[in-house]
Structure formats: structure tokens, C-alpha cells
Amino acid sequence: MKKIVLLRHGESLWNQENRFTGWTNVDLSQKGVEEANNAGKLLKGNNFSFEIAYTSYLKRAIKTLNCVLDQMDEDWIPVHKTWRLNEKHYGILQGLNKSETATIYGDEQVHIWRRSYDVAPLPLEESDPSIPYKDTRYAHIPPCDLPLTESLKDAIDRVIPYWECEIFPRLMTTNSILVVAHGNSLRGIVKHLKGISNTDIADLNIPTAVPYVFEFDKSLTLVNDYYLGNPDEIKKKQEAVARQGSTKEINH
């Protein structure tokens, strides 16, 4: 059986503060480091081993991957970093508290920005210092390819070509791949793998640092997918993700 494990990064400092993060290069919180280490221990304890790994250009994903590989004693495997696995760009919402934003724009509008398929927040202004083309990490990428905001559809349009041309074909010559990325870039991959509709994707909430295992047969047909870990704890984490954009979270 061939396997690809998708892993959302551990809790970041802005996850902790319930802020829209997007392409902002925010570090892991202490809880996030612990989550990442626990994910590595869980994978090792269930006899997982990886031949290659992929992650984004963002610190919270890279550090999560490093923690996982350290716990598994697999620091030596090849790691490929790509901007195409970055989180969805949240435009002018980046840095804003999700629940406080909901009190201004309403729960429904924030839910649309967070979970809809094809509605993007307003873009960054050209004068904004956080525009990606001003960041040296993206100096080799044509500015026209770098987003100032994204819908989930936009994010999927940059993620899936890399998935189809680079990540998935590796299963032909390897048996196990680890992909550590972000809530929305991973939602795009899961949507693609499972054929989730543009409407139903709104209900998919991927918890932080919980290994999501996809199993394929020799013909690379998907035969099974499941989260690794305690089902009750995973459900609680999914529910917490779903609540983040609601005014109810302010008093939660």
C-alpha cells in the first residue's frame, strides 16, 4: 500500500490569537511545537516512515515538518519547499482577529471569506509592505503569479498543478510521502482527491497537527483515508476550527 500523509502545521501564534494569517510568516506557539512533536511521535508509534517530504515557504509549516522528522529520526530524508503549498492569501484581512471581524461584517460574511469556494477578501494595497513580490523569498517568481488576495479556488489553482506534476507522481517510485502545509492548501488537495463539491468543501475543517492518511493501491487509486489519533479529540479540534470565524468565539 502506498501512502501520502497530509499534515496541517501546529498551532501558530496567530492561530492562538484567532487572527487571519495567510502568507504572513508567523511562528509556532509553544502549543504548536508540542502538537508537532506529538504528531511525529504518533506517526513513529504507528510504524510510519517517509521517503520524501514537501512543505511551504512559511515558518509554521517548516518548523512543524522539522519537529515531526526529528521525532521520527528521519531528518535526513529529502525535503522540497514550495510557495505553491502556502496558505490561502487573505488580502486585507491578514492580521485581523477573526471573531472581531465577524462583529463588524457579520458571521455570514466572514464564513464566506473563510470557507467559500470562489469569494476572495479585498486585496492588499500596492503600498502594503507585506506584498509578496517585496519579499526576498519570492524574488524568483514573476510578480504577476503572486497573489494579493485569494479565494479557495485561486489557492487550488496554484496548488493542484504542483500536486499533479511533482508530488503525486512520486508515488510511482516511492511508497510514502509527507506533505506539511496549511488549512486551505490542504483543503484543496483533499477536495481534489475525494471529489468534494464546491459547496460541500465549506464544511471541511482540517485540525492542526493531526496526520491525515491517504492510502493508494499499486495503480495509484485511492482506497482509504483516515485521521490518525483519538476520534473524540480530533472532532473537538475540527469543531474549534469551525468556530474561529464566529462572533460566538469571542465569549467561548
Any idea which residues carry the catalytic annotation? 9, 87
DSSP state of 170: G
The Cα–Cα gap between 168 and 193 comes to 10
DSSP state of 180: E
Amino acid at 131: I
Helix, strand or coil for residue 59?
Answer: helix
The Cα–Cα gap between 52 and 200 comes to 31
Sequence-distant (6+) residues with CB within 8 A of 231 are: none
Question: Distance from first CA to last CA of the chain, Å, rounded?
Answer: 42
Q: DSSP per residue over 194-244, as a string?
A: HT--TTGGGG--PPTT--EEEEE-TT--EEEEEE-S-HHHHHHHHHHHHHT
